[in-house]
């Protein structure tokens, strides 16, 4: 997979997994390394969001999603260094961290653009937006453990699709197809392809299956009953939904730029993470 050239950064932000002492310690060494290269190091999240020209993530995919949110849509490359097991997005192991940084600083690294989704919440049929945000992985509408089954009217660019009677529904990007959507029996999409996964969670009717729709379509999901339902955005719990609330999901113009590890391809990550070929 050919990547896009990664520009040489002058200001680099470092975002470690805050609950990891190892990540925090490693952040100190990365900062010292960058300073010896004449690069300005940013650790304040506000400064990273506004001024960083590269972000180094030390953690897992969750930390990378947090770092992407800090950038607010700015097209800044993110180098994901995994501090544990290999991640789908944090694809550079710790042992290759410094060579990857050298490649970025030398201008020989490439980036993989990843699609984001824009999410609008309209409450009670109102045209006003109660929520306007973006996600990298997925939008999840799900009922609470003791609630009745949700009834969700699904429309694709105003065309009626079906009404899911289910525990909820997941709308995922290709990048997010290997997250919660995979557990809901959704398909794995190559991360740079164009498409959006629509996957019901535990549907009442087994003939209701996951769909892949073009990324230029707009999905509208309307809650039809009084189930206790919540919106979750990239794993973070959002507002509760009520009957008549509508969640609109469409492609964002923004992209997340992930520094590509040339030593590892997407299929190698799948084999490692999903243990393909093992018995």
177-186 confidence digits (pLDDT tens): 999 999 999 9
What letters, b where the CB count within 10 A reaches 16 and e where it falls short, cover 147-172?
eebbbbebbbeeeebbebbbbbbbbb
CA distance 198 to 249: 11
- Prediction pTM value: 0.94
Catalytic residues: 61
CA distances from 229 to 130, 141, 161, 254 (A): 16, 7, 21, 28
At the top level of CATH, which class does the domain 116-252 belong to?
A: mainly beta
Report CA torsion sign: 153, 255, 195, 209: negative
Report CA torsion sign: 55, 61, 66, 72: positive
CA distance 143 to 38: 51
Q: Say which CATH superfamily domain 4-109+260-274 falls into.
A: Probable inorganic polyphosphate/atp-NAD kinase; domain 1 (3.40.50.10330)
- pLDDT, one tens digit per residue, over 65-90 is 999 999 999 999 999 999 877 789 99
Q: Where are the domains of the chain?
A: 4-109+260-274, 116-252
- pLDDT, one tens digit per residue, over 119-157 is 999 998 788 888 999 999 999 999 999 999 999 999 999
């Amino acid at each position: 997979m050919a990547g896009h050239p990664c520009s040489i950064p002058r200001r680099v932000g470092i975002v470690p997994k805050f609950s990891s002492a190892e990540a925090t310690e490693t952040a100190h060494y990365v900062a010292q390394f960058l300073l010896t290269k004449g690069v300005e190091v940013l650790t304040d999240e506000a400064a990273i969001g506004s001024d960083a020209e590269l972000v180094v993530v030390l953690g897992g995919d969750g930390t990378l999603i947090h770092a992407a949110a800090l950038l607010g849509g700015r097209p800044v490359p993110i180098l994901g260094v995994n501090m544990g097991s290999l991640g789908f997005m944090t694809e550079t192991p710790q042992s290759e961290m410094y060579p990857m940084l050298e490649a970025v600083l030398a201008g020989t690294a490439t980036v993989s653009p990843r699609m984001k989704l824009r999410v609008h919440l309209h409450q009670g049929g109102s045209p006003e937006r109660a929520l306007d945000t973006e996600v990298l992985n997925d939008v999840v509408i799900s009922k609470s453990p003791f609630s009745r089954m949700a009834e969700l009217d699904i429309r694709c660019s105003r065309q009626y699709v079906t009404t899911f009677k289910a525990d909820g529904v997941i709308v995922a990007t290709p990048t997010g197809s290997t997250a919660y959507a995979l557990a809901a029996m959704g398909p794995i999409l190559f991360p740079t392809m164009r498409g959006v996964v629509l996957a019901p969670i535990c549907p009442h009717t087994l003939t209701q299956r996951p769909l892949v729709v073009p990324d230029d379509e707009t999905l509208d999901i309307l809650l039809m009953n009084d189930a206790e339902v919540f919106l979750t955005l990239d794993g973070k719990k959002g507002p509760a939904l009520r009957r008549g609330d509508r969640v609109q999901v469409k492609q964002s113009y923004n992209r997340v730029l992930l520094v590509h590890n040339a030593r590892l391809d997407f299929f190698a990550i799948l084999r490692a993470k999903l243990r393909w070929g093992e018995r």
